[in-house]
Structure 1
Amino acid sequence: MDTTTAALTIHPRRRGAELGDMFGIFFEDINHAADGGLYAELVQNRSFEFDPIDHREYHALTAWETVERGGGKAAVTIETSHPLNERNPHYAVIEILAEGAGVGILNQGFNSGISLTKGESYLFSVYARRDNSFNEPLVLTLESHEGVVHAEASITVDSAEWRKYEVRLTAQDTDVSSRLVLVTTGSGKLYLDMVSLFPEATFRGRPGGMRKDISEWLAALKPKFMRFPGGCLIHDGSLNPDARDSLYHWKNTLGDVAQRPSRRNNWSYNQTLGLGYYEYFQFCEDIGAKPLPVLPGGYNPHRNQAVPLDELEPWIQDALDLIEFANGDSSTPWGSKRAELGHPEPFGLEYVGIGNEEVGEPFFERYPYFHRAIKERYPDIKVINSSGPFAAGSEYDRGWNSAKGHGSDLVDEHYYQSPEWFLANYHRYDNFKADEPKVFLGEFASWGNSYYNALAEAAYMTGLERNAHAVGLVCYAPMLCNADYVNWKPDMIWFNNHQVYGTPNYYVQKLFMNHHGDQLLAVEGSGFSAPQAAAASAIIGPIVLTASNTAAEFYDIELLNRVTGEKRTFSGLSPEVNTMKDLPEGSNIPRVLELGETGWEHYTLSLKARRTAGPKGFIIEFGRKDDHNRLFWELGGWLNQDTMVCAVVDGRNSVLTQSMFSVETDVEYSLVLEVSGREIRTYIDGELVNETEDKLPTIEPLYYTASMELSSGDIILKAVNVQAEAVTAHINIDDNIQGGMNVDVFELSGHNLEDENSFEHPEQIVPQERSFSTEESGFAYTFPKQSVTVFRIRQRVSQ
């Protein structure tokens, strides 16, 4: 007999908000996600344009080596006097001093080298010229580090002017660490530029296209949209469009790749722009995702530089031209450009983002100019505003106020937090209004790629889906990481030059995207145990004063117990701390001032602080348990622009709230920290600058949401159990179902919370699938402990 009392009842006739394009992906060229990653070019620094402006260790011959064989001697240099094109002026010159058995250069590729697969073909191309020995071949080989030749071909550079040469090579062996070697004989000089090697088998067979395996992993997600190309890289750079390190300009990314200028990527490497806007749009089309480009808004918050308002028109025109490029017919200037590139039909652009996690008044002063111009010309385009990189605070509020005031369609929210924060904020969007701008959660992740991280994210995502009236678009970030070029962790997909694996986070995203649903269905839970609230506790623990790469003085320190009136003052302490990287040898200046344990639940700390040297500001730690569990108030954080309150749980940080503030040297600040239970307020010179609550998680007995896929008629039920014990419930369909149901089940379960996937064990954590049938309009199910389960439920069809 079924004794299950807990139940989930789904009401297919009670429809809720439409889910629209809710779950998608975000591509940012971080962690070598493009060059050395999704963009399938195998040659690193193919146009000899690497520069210290990209990375302090770069130079024009980075990733290249001189080759001298059989007594050959060569001088390899870089010149710019007779370039292939003015936008990429550098090229390599090989002066043959003694031909021997051949001289030239080799390219190391990315990661361990160039990855070859036996039997596969590779397309080589180069622009070249020479001033002598026009009949001598240029021999191309793909070789192992030991000199074993895996593939060979040759071309004859028979001109003193730049010409493009192409040839196919077929690998005779598999080698993940090969090099591309170019050698010649004769005399004189050989000039080379745009040395390129692509696998012939790119995604969808597009020449110069995307790496097939990574692309297939992305296509398998079935995302509704793809946000691109960033990320901070769109707005971090010079405002001068002709500068080598300029902000991202989409028009620079079109046309012949040999004519596209190299660019400094703000993640400290070179960006070839071979993966440009046409390729982005094309890739979105190839994987069935709507394109969502993000454009700079005329402001660089990294350098506090803004385009003067009377010079903003070209930036606005860039946005209008982009929409025409994507959607205009071939009779329009930019629509004809798209047609020339090979795509006469429009791409069907629906969304445009202006700015990326912007903070500061200059952006919000400029945003309305973009918004008005786009809406006047293209009223159906959905324009996305920004609310900064944090989940709360004055800049977050400024972004939302701007969006509401100007009628933005969506607001781009970004936050990276601890798993505990996501569980504690499951109800974050419950009270957001349907008639206001919708949330675009454009970047989010919990800190880590463990099963626990994925579980917490899945629980949170049911809350996002349940609030589809207010949440429009969602994408995890970052998406891709080359394991040998890591800028940021966590990441959804990891790869090297020949392997790819998905994290548990990837599989959660895949479950939500593959089983998206079109419209919410009412679903009611009954008979479950009550949510498990964390034991009530105040923020207590030691208080520590320190600084962030700064020398500072702290004095007039007083701690007040607001319940008893007890006061503590701190005399006899050294007033100085110094956390600058290079303290004088033998210095006895402390790096921290420890004020000791309070044990109080309601207290006020007041003090004065002065920065005496350094680029940032002060840090006040409180509620400290250890290095991995504490709270802190930081003033002058991130480029000395913030005052923020943060909570660290198991070493993972959550920014609870943020406002703008910069610390100046030799200025005295009166600082006040108020703690009441778990509520926190901070004041600078009498002004309230931060107000927040450090919420503790309340664990639901089951996190769930239901929707209908209209094309199939499938009912989709998603359920997440984060508890350490199984939960059994009866799943009821409140409808007139004749003949029973077929049910497909997709489930992540049976893993330790700390488990992760890896190159060695890429499928340690993957969903399991099974199906069953029932003649009833419901069924009992036991949700395993710490599991993510998706059901597809459909009426059985009589044979």
Structure 2
Amino acid sequence: MSEAQGKLTIHTKQRGAELGDLFGIFFEDLNHAADGGLYAELVRNRSFEFDPIDHPDFHALTNWEKVERGGGQAELRIEDSQPMNERNRHYAVITIRMAGDGVGIANSGFNSGIPVRVGEDYRFSFYARRNESFSEPVRIAIESKAGVVHGETTVVVDSSEWRKYEAVISVDETNYSSRLTITTGGSGSLYVDMVSLFPLRTFLGRTNGLREDIATLLAELKPKFMRFPGGCLVHDGSLNPDDRNSMYRWKNTIGPVEQRPSRRNNWRYNQTLGLGYYEYFQFCQDIGAKPIPILPGGYDPHHKRIVPIDELGPWIDDALDLIEFANGDLSTEWGAIRAELGHPEPFGLEYIGIGNEEVGEPFFERYSYFHQAIKAKYPTMKIINSSGPFAAGGEYERGWQSARENGSDLVDEHYYQSPEWFLANFDRYDGFKADEPKVFLGEYASWGNTYYNALAEAAFMIGLERNAHAVGLACYAPMLCNVDYVNWKPDLIWFNNHEVFGTANYYVQKLFMHHQGDRLLRIEASGFEKPQGIEAKPINGAIELGTDASSVIYSNVRIVNNDSGEERTFTGWTAELSDTEKARLAGTAKQSAHLCVTDWTNYTLSMTAKRTDGPRGFVISFGCADDDNRLFWEISGWQNQDSMISSRVNGRNSCLTQSLFTVENDVTYELALEVSGRQIRSYINGKLIHDTEDKLPLIQPIYCSSSVDDNFGDTIVKVVNMQDVAVYADIAFEDLPEAGGRRVESYELSGHSLKDENSFEQPQKIVPVQRDFSFEGSSFLHEFPAHSVTVFRVKMPVV
């Protein structure tokens, strides 16, 4: 090894902030993360409750079809006049016209079909009744699409009243595209509801359990906590808990699964709630993660549904009852209910979140009522406030102001940005104060699942760890994605109906969770080369005016050089643009117009703008190199409620700042954009709306942190090398006890192209490699490969 380029000094006796519960996971039922994913149920639409309110293409027989064999004839219909229970009223009726070799129904499951494996057993159950003779058995089979039987059993439906019937089916062939069939003979009608098929082999063997391979991958992360159940599904819905499209109400998710109401998932599918709050708490306990439930705060920012202040009582009671459900003893109402469900011991809830990505004054006005009530009854409960889905801006600051005023324990920050943004902002929390509410980075990810994304996130996580005085909790999001039902990407873990793999991002998270440590140690980097960065040139280049899903008119455009006073006036120039559906269908759509190219480094662009049609508004692009590299000011944005300054790097967007703003039709707005170097300010009708900086990455020679594991006495060192070349360093430990030799467990991610990804075909392409070694004395030399993540665990002295 050549001479070291620098030195890392770890001061093993100089301890800093406690790392606490820093790194955990976040579960939200999107991308079919629960039904068709972690929740092991294999039957899709098991209670015939699919409905167009879930998705326009859904109906009560989605994923079901009629089966008629050997001349059999039957009528299949859905009824609700004599339901099994009032919460799930629909059921299937199979009326036998001619028995033949059997008639009935078949379910095709999720993805390509129901996956079964040779030698495995599956628990079948359903509720059924008959209105005629009980002599004919009901045949339950797992079959291929061609009708080859892989396993079967029979049950006798012997009542005209709803009863539950169960059986175990052993499978003699592996088939990942099978189906479940229910057939019978005789005469009359067979009534069927709540059809279920679970593998007996679930995670820890639990009934109504979790898919073993996915749950095991989550358990192997060893997360400190799990945030659940979302996400936008927490607050996106009606105010009535009995509505199918209600906000997520935890009391609907406990008790017998057949009595849990079907729910419209806001990601446009049906949510059975089979994976409910009891199961969430149980899973957290099973994997050693602290539960962090998130509850709605009486405000739906998506549809502006607002609970009146004087009607907040039941919503606050839901929060208080949840804490009692988790922590109450058997003498309490909800503690007793928990015990009846099978868990007499408390779950030990320490955190509770109110609201998710909230924006708007109505939420923050209501938050204080929740906060005061919870603290009054449970003063040690740690309450999490919200700061919206943006990294900066008006709503972000409103959330932090609310947290300071109320004394919130943590503030939930969310952002999804380019890898370059994460590298440019790895020191984001350096200036945060230890005596203020702590940061809960409840959702974050860079756009992509490549090795480069994982490296950028690792560098950023070093910054999170080094700022444990201010950052209390952090979890990557989203966590799970069914490859056949993608609502959002990137995601930490990908799966189909029979396979699962962790991304490169997953293995970075795993390294940081396994080697978090309990308290920071002081670490110094010296003698390294200066940071490497893109030349921080001022923002200039092409300027374009545009629109999104609307018709707009720009006029009175001018650009002024703020240094020289030179002015370019586009006299008589107007841009009439339209991107409405009507214009697109007519072939007259024009989304943008080129204005000019400027090399000025300090300028103001101003204009008048008016929207004449459409739901959104104005888009002003500047500093344009091409479509994939530019900055833009979007006024109205999603749901016509945002003004945002964003940066696009290599096709990946980062919102730099956001404020609330709504555009109205046929109203003229005076817009001004001031660009000075990389500083950006924008004004609407003379009022400052945004003041931000588009920071460029400054790649550090290395990103490093150190901590101590109190349980084992290990000294932990993490190093990320983002550079294209290897970095050599002397790793020196101050104040280590005298010893002969020391053993080091070394874990390294390296040797991959920045574009590499894990996949179903190569699930282990990017995984850490462990290489252990020993050293004498108090230091050793090490080469950190280009583009690498390295973790050292320096063990107790070798005896």
The more displaced of 239-248 and 261-270 is 239-248
**Equivalent in the alignment of 1:432:** 432
User: Partners of 1:538 and 1:11 in 2: how far apart?
Assistant: 40
**How far apart are 1:208 and its partner, in Å?**
1.2
Q: Deviations over 1:672-706 (max 9, x none)?
A: 11111111011111110111000001110000000
User: Partners of 2:481 and 2:162 in 1: how far apart?
Assistant: 36
Give SS of 2:591's match: coil
* 1:750 aligned onto 2:754: no
**Equivalent in the alignment of 2:778:** 777
**How far apart are 1:570 and its partner, in Å?**
2.1
User: Partners of 2:584 and 2:711 in 1: how far apart?
Assistant: 70
Q: Is the 8 A contact 2:556 2:574 kept in 1?
A: no
**Equivalent in the alignment of 1:376:** 376
Q: Is the 8 A contact 1:741 1:794 kept in 2?
A: yes
User: Partners of 2:393 and 2:185 in 1: how far apart?
Assistant: 66
**Equivalent in the alignment of 2:788:** 787
Give SS of 2:474's match: strand
User: Partners of 1:2 and 1:173 in 2: how far apart?
Assistant: 58
Q: 1:584 to 1:319 in 2, by over 3 A?
A: closer
Letter of the aligned partner of 1:698 in structure 2? L
Q: 1:15 to 1:152 in 2, by over 3 A?
A: same
User: Partners of 2:725 and 2:584 in 1: how far apart?
Assistant: 55
Give SS of 1:314's match: helix
Q: 1:202 to 1:657 in 2, by over 3 A?
A: same
* 1:218 aligned onto 2:218: yes
* 1:526 aligned onto 2:526: yes
User: Partners of 2:739 and 2:584 in 1: how far apart?
Assistant: 82
Q: Deviations over 1:352-385 (max 9, x none)?
A: 0000010000000000000000000000100000
**Equivalent in the alignment of 1:178:** 178
> For 1:298-697, what aligned pairs fall within 5 Å after superposition?
298-583=298-583, 588=588, 590-697=590-697
**How far apart are 1:533 and its partner, in Å?**
3.0
Give SS of 1:338's match: helix
Give SS of 1:140's match: strand
Give SS of 1:605's match: strand
User: Partners of 1:540 and 1:530 in 2: how far apart?
Assistant: 27
Q: Deviations over 1:134-172 (max 9, x none)?
A: 111110110011111000101111111100000000110
Letter of the aligned partner of 1:628 in structure 2? D
* 1:739 aligned onto 2:710: no
**How far apart are 1:59 and its partner, in Å?**
0.4
User: Partners of 1:5 and 1:718 in 2: how far apart?
Assistant: 18
**How far apart are 1:244 and its partner, in Å?**
1.2
Q: Deviations over 1:607-634 (max 9, x none)?
A: 1111111111111011111111111000
Give SS of 1:221's match: coil
Give SS of 1:385's match: strand
User: Partners of 2:345 and 2:623 in 1: how far apart?
Assistant: 60
The more displaced of 448-457 and 186-195 is 186-195
**How far apart are 1:187 and its partner, in Å?**
1.2
Give SS of 2:155's match: strand
Q: Is the 8 A contact 2:8 2:730 kept in 1?
A: yes
Give SS of 2:223's match: coil
* 1:165 aligned onto 2:165: yes
User: Partners of 2:164 and 2:392 in 1: how far apart?
Assistant: 54
Q: Deviations over 1:280-324 (max 9, x none)?
A: 000000000000000000000000111000000000000000000
User: Partners of 2:467 and 2:97 in 1: how far apart?
Assistant: 71
User: Partners of 1:5 and 1:128 in 2: how far apart?
Assistant: 74
**Equivalent in the alignment of 1:256:** 256
**Equivalent in the alignment of 1:728:** 728
Q: Deviations over 1:714-763 (max 9, x none)?
A: 00100000000000001111123311210000000000000001101111
**Equivalent in the alignment of 1:768:** 769
* 1:291 aligned onto 2:291: yes
Give SS of 2:193's match: strand
Letter of the aligned partner of 1:68 in structure 2? E
User: Partners of 1:233 and 1:151 in 2: how far apart?
Assistant: 38
**Equivalent in the alignment of 1:242:** 242
Q: Deviations over 1:87-134 (max 9, x none)?
A: 111111111111111111100000111110100000000000011131
TM-score (norm 2): 0.99
Q: Deviations over 1:578-607 (max 9, x none)?
A: 011231766556321210211211111111
Letter of the aligned partner of 1:625 in structure 2? A
Identity %: 65
Q: Is the 8 A contact 1:33 1:481 kept in 2?
A: yes
Letter of the aligned partner of 1:358 in structure 2? E
Give SS of 2:662's match: coil
Letter of the aligned partner of 1:502 in structure 2? G
5+ residue gaps, structure 1? none
**Equivalent in the alignment of 1:759:** 760
Letter of the aligned partner of 1:154 in structure 2? T
Q: Deviations over 1:437-482 (max 9, x none)?
A: 0000000000000000000000000000000000000000000000
Q: Is the 8 A contact 1:739 1:795 kept in 2?
A: no
Q: Is the 8 A contact 2:580 2:589 kept in 1?
A: no
Q: 1:129 to 1:588 in 2, by over 3 A?
A: closer
Q: 1:261 to 1:584 in 2, by over 3 A?
A: closer
**Matched residue pairs, number?**
798
Q: Deviations over 1:631-657 (max 9, x none)?
A: 100011111110000000000000000
The more displaced of 579-588 and 663-672 is 579-588
The more displaced of 314-323 and 543-552 is 543-552
TM-score (norm 1): 0.99
User: Partners of 1:591 and 1:465 in 2: how far apart?
Assistant: 44
Give SS of 2:336's match: helix
The more displaced of 592-601 and 102-111 is 592-601
User: Partners of 1:623 and 1:445 in 2: how far apart?
Assistant: 25
* 1:132 aligned onto 2:132: yes
> For 1:49-64, what aligned pairs fall within 5 Å after superposition?
49-64=49-64
Q: Is the 8 A contact 1:740 1:777 kept in 2?
A: no
**Equivalent in the alignment of 1:104:** 104
**Equivalent in the alignment of 2:712:** 712
**Equivalent in the alignment of 2:41:** 41
Q: 1:548 to 1:2 in 2, by over 3 A?
A: closer
User: Partners of 2:302 and 2:193 in 1: how far apart?
Assistant: 34
Q: 1:395 to 1:68 in 2, by over 3 A?
A: same
What value does the CA root-mean-square deviation take over the aligned residues? 1.0
User: Partners of 1:558 and 1:687 in 2: how far apart?
Assistant: 18
Q: Deviations over 1:418-437 (max 9, x none)?
A: 00000000110001000100
* 1:274 aligned onto 2:260: no
The more displaced of 261-270 and 5-14 is 5-14
User: Partners of 1:707 and 1:175 in 2: how far apart?
Assistant: 48
Letter of the aligned partner of 1:701 in structure 2? P
User: Partners of 1:401 and 1:574 in 2: how far apart?
Assistant: 42
**How far apart are 1:795 and its partner, in Å?**
2.9
Letter of the aligned partner of 1:707 in structure 2? S
Q: Is the 8 A contact 2:706 2:716 kept in 1?
A: yes
Q: Deviations over 1:516-554 (max 9, x none)?
A: 100000111111111113212011111111111001111
**How far apart are 1:2 and its partner, in Å?**
7.0
User: Partners of 2:361 and 2:300 in 1: how far apart?
Assistant: 12
Q: Is the 8 A contact 1:576 1:589 kept in 2?
A: no
Give SS of 2:443's match: strand
Q: Is the 8 A contact 1:546 1:579 kept in 2?
A: no
The more displaced of 769-778 and 174-183 is 769-778
Q: Deviations over 1:259-299 (max 9, x none)?
A: 00000000000000000000000000000000000000000
Q: 1:295 to 1:420 in 2, by over 3 A?
A: same
